[in-house]
Amino acid sequence: MEPTSKFILPGILFLFTLTFGFWLSRLGKPYNGLVFNIHKLVALAAVVFAAIRIYNLLKGADIQPVVVTLAVVCVLCVIALFATGAFMSIGNLPHAPLLTVHKVALVVLSFSAVGMVYFLIAKPQ
Ligand code: HEM
């Protein structure tokens, strides 16, 4: 399989996650249970598939420091997305800062993930 095509499935799942995220926001609070769970589970599936594909690319490669740095940033962003998502749904913390962190982590994750895949695929060791 072409290295880039390995990321089609995680990419599609990521787009579904965004779609359900914006839909969830539009529907407002209290969150629609079905849309919330689809958003959360599709996000989980996207992360798991992306992690498996990236792990397979990393195996046996001479890993560059930039890839390690971007991977750490991606992991931190995923933790931030899941934590803020969970806290927003529980609703016991101020909503606005949590949503801001959710959005910022999403943007940083997108750029870091694309950068990491670029360095892994375009600059193979
Ligand atoms: C890869 C992981 C994730 C991505 C890319 C993502 C992306 C998004 C996006 C784009 C929005 C819409 C934000 C807006 O209106 O501007 C959103 C909203 C939301 N997400 Fe996520 N999300 C992720 C994971 C999660 C998880 C795991 C949870 C729950 C545990 C979650 C809970 C929420 C909630 C509750 C909202 C609605 C916020 C509101 O407007 O009140 N998200 N997400």
Per-residue pLDDT of the chain (125 residues; tens, 9 = 90+): 677 788 899 999 999 999 999 999 999 999 999 999 999 999 999 999 999 999 998 887 788 899 999 999 999 999 999 999 999 999 999 999 999 999 999 999 999 999 998 988 876 54
Bond into 94 cis (ω within 30) = no
Dihedral of CA 25/31/34/38: which sign?
positive
Mutating to test ligand 1, I would choose from 102, 103, 106, 111 the residue with most ligand atoms within 8 A of its C-beta, which is: 102
Please name the residue whose Cα sits nearest to atom 27 of ligand 1.
82
Question: Does the beta carbon of 16 lie inside 6 Å of ligand 1?
Answer: no
Gap from CA of 85 to ligand 1 centroid (Å) = 6
The neighbour count for residue 99, using CB atoms within 10 Å, is 14
> Burial, 97: exposed, middle or buried (Cβ in 10 Å; 0-12, 13-18, 19+)?
exposed
At 2 the pLDDT is 72
pLDDT of residue 1: 60
User: Which pLDDT belongs to residue 124?
Assistant: 52
